[in-house]
């Protein structure tokens, strides 16, 4: 009878220990979950901000080149003291700018018919001119590092020629959305930063600097201290992707319309409220940072797989549950013997 009573008491004690351990496990896991979410969100935000600063620096430096080049060329059209420049001297100016800014993929200037020196007829089909004779040199680097100069293409076509037409027609600096342009026999994915050549309100042409999308892809591939499975996606306000961790084939696809593994698509309304910049959906913790770049807004999204955030919690639950089970078992064993 006494042993039966002791057994009941110990069973009650063991059950109590197990329940207390379970309660502590639940409380601890919730606390750890909140702490991990906060920590991971802060890490992701820092990484997104770091990438944002690198992009802004790259864009700023490229625009310094196009603006400076446009100002220099505009002196040709100064009505009071015009500067005399030959077309070969323009190429030499481009070479100086190009060599001093090795991170720029390509540099160009495009002028309206006879706007530069009135000699287009003399240059038709010669050197870096096409059949129009317009001044349209495009400077790039070959694989061996040497400089190549060729004539621009599609500069008069809406869409394909936006790299020239947008800054020329608006008279303002512009970032041209990602596109494909043929260079040295290969298609290159790039963006162009364009600056108009304007004198007394009249636009005569434009200058442009190209940045390959590989720059943004490399940024997206630098995950550093972030959890396994983290993906960084860089895209513009229309959803065009310029960088996607481990997935260069995603470049130029649309983040709002195309489907990607373990990714929940959002529409652009998310960007209207900063409160939506941190979202925990059924698959990922999504952290968003936005950049205002001239005529566009870009976004950097850091995605942490939900299971990577929960993994430490599962370990903690296992440890606490094991402790509770051992304590309860010990209590029962002591009482039994």
The whole-number average pLDDT for the span 158-165 is 96
More confident residue, 30 or 57: 57
More confident residue, 311 or 52: 52
295 falls in which pLDDT band (50, 70, 90)? Answer: confident
Q: Residue 66 pLDDT more than 50?
A: yes
The whole-number average pLDDT for the span 18-22 is 55
Q: Residue 312 pLDDT more than 70?
A: no
- Asked if residue 230 and residue 145 are part of one domain, the reply reads no
- Asked if residue 80 and residue 48 are part of one domain, the reply reads no
pLDDT of residue 134: 98
Q: What is the CA radius of gyration of the chain?
A: 31
The whole-number average pLDDT for the span 291-314 is 83
Give the predicted TM-score (pTM) of the model: 0.83
* DSSP string covering 34-47: HHHHHHHHHHHHHH
Tokens of 185: 């026999």
- Asked if residue 286 and residue 155 are part of one domain, the reply reads no
pLDDT of residue 207: 98
Residue where one domain finishes, among candidates 170, 188, 212:
212
Q: What is the C-alpha separation between 19 and 327, in angstroms, rounded?
A: 11
Q: Residue 11 pLDDT more than 90?
A: no
Q: Taking all residues of the chain, what is their mean pLDDT, rounded to a whole number?
A: 86
Domains in the chain, number: 2
- Asked if residue 255 and residue 165 are part of one domain, the reply reads no
Query: Which structural domain range is residue 85 located in?
Result: 61-212
Q: Residue 21 pLDDT more than 80?
A: no
The whole-number average pLDDT for the span 270-280 is 83
Q: Residue 6 pLDDT more than 50?
A: yes
pLDDT of residue 330: 57
- Asked if residue 80 and residue 159 are part of one domain, the reply reads yes
- Asked if residue 250 and residue 204 are part of one domain, the reply reads no
8 Å CB contact between 277 and 41: no
Tokens of 140: 């790039």
CA dihedral for 245, 246, 251, 255, sign (positive or negative): negative
Residue 16 lies in a domain: no
- Asked if residue 202 and residue 70 are part of one domain, the reply reads yes
Residue 334 lies in a domain: no
pLDDT of residue 1: 47
Place of tokens 């009941």: 8
- Asked if residue 261 and residue 195 are part of one domain, the reply reads no
Tokens of 281: 């959906």
Q: For position 117, which CATH number holds?
A: 3.30.450.20
Q: What is the C-alpha separation between 144 and 175, in angstroms, rounded?
A: 29
328 falls in which pLDDT band (50, 70, 90)? Answer: low
Q: What is the C-alpha separation between 166 and 177, in angstroms, rounded?
A: 11
Residue where one domain finishes, among candidates 212, 247, 274:
212
Residue 2 lies in a domain: no
Residue 325 lies in a domain: no
- Asked if residue 271 and residue 173 are part of one domain, the reply reads no
- Asked if residue 191 and residue 150 are part of one domain, the reply reads yes
Q: What is the C-alpha separation between 328 and 319, in angstroms, rounded?
A: 14
334 falls in which pLDDT band (50, 70, 90)? Answer: low
- Asked if residue 220 and residue 133 are part of one domain, the reply reads no
Tokens of 201: 């309100």
- Phi and psi for 294 in degrees, rounded to 5? 50, -110
pLDDT of residue 144: 83
Q: For position 220, which CATH number holds?
A: 3.30.450
- Phi and psi for 130 in degrees, rounded to 5? -100, -165
Residue where one domain finishes, among candidates 212, 235, 265:
212
Burial class of 274 by CB neighbour count within 10 A (0 to 12, 13 to 18, 19+): exposed
- Phi and psi for 265 in degrees, rounded to 5? -75, 140
3-state secondary structure of 106: strand
Residue 247 lies in a domain: yes
Q: What is the C-alpha separation between 21 and 320, in angstroms, rounded?
A: 7
Give per-residue pLDDT as tens, 106-126: 999 999 999 999 999 999 999
- Asked if residue 145 and residue 268 are part of one domain, the reply reads no
Residue 200 lies in a domain: yes
Q: Strand pairing partners for 182? A: 187
8 Å CB contact between 288 and 281: no
- Dihedral angle, C-alpha 25, 30, 31, 32, nearest 10 °: 80
Give per-residue pLDDT as tens, 175-222: 999 999 998 888 999 999 999 999 999 999 999 999 999 999 999 998
Q: Residue 164 pLDDT more than 80?
A: yes
- Phi and psi for 170 in degrees, rounded to 5? -85, -25
pLDDT of residue 266: 81
Residue 266 lies in a domain: yes
271 falls in which pLDDT band (50, 70, 90)? Answer: confident
2 falls in which pLDDT band (50, 70, 90)? Answer: very low
Residue 27 lies in a domain: no
Provide the percentage of residues in the chain whose pLDDT is more than 90: 62
| Lowest mean per-residue pLDDT among 20-34, 160-174, 228-242 | 20-34
């Amino acid at each position: 009878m006494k042993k039966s009573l002791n057994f009941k008491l110990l069973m009650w004690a063991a059950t109590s220990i197990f329940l207390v351990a379970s309660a502590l496990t639940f409380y601890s896991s919730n606390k750890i979950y909140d702490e991990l979410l906060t920590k991971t969100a802060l890490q992701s935000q820092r990484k997104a901000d770091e990438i944002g600063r690198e992009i802004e620096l790259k864009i700023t430096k490229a625009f310094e080149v196009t603006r400076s080049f446009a100002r220099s060329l505009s002196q040709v059209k100064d009505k009071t003291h015009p500067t005399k420049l030959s077309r070969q001297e323009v190429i030499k100016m481009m070479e100086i700018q190009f060599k001093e800014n090795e991170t720029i993929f390509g540099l160009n200037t495009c002028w309206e018919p006879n706007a530069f020196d009135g000699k287009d007829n003399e240059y038709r089909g010669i050197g870096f001119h096409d059949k129009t004779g317009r001044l349209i040199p495009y400077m790039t680097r070959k694989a061996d590092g040497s400089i190549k100069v060729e004539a621009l293409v599609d500069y008069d076509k809406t869409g394909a020629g936006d790299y020239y037409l947008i800054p020329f027609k608006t008279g303002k600096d512009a970032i041209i959305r990602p596109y494909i342009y043929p260079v040295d026999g290969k298609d290159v994915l790039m963006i162009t930063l364009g600056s108009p050549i304007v004198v007394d309100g009249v636009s005569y042409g434009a200058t442009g600097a190209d940045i390959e999308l590989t720059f943004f892809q490399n940024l997206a591939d630098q995950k550093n201290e972030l959890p396994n499975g983290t993906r960084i996606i860089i895209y513009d306000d229309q959803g065009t992707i310029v960088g996607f961790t481990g997935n260069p084939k995603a470049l130029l696809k649309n983040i709002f319309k195309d489907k990607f593994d373990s990714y929940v698509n959002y529409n652009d309304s998310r960007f209207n409220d900063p409160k939506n910049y941190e979202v925990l959906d059924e698959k990922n913790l999504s952290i968003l940072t936005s950049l205002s770049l001239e005529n566009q807004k870009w976004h950097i999204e850091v995605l942490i797989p939900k299971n990577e955030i929960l993994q430490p919690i599962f370990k903690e639950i296992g440890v606490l549950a094991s402790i509770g089970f051992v304590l309860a078992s010990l209590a029962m064993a002591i009482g039994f013997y």
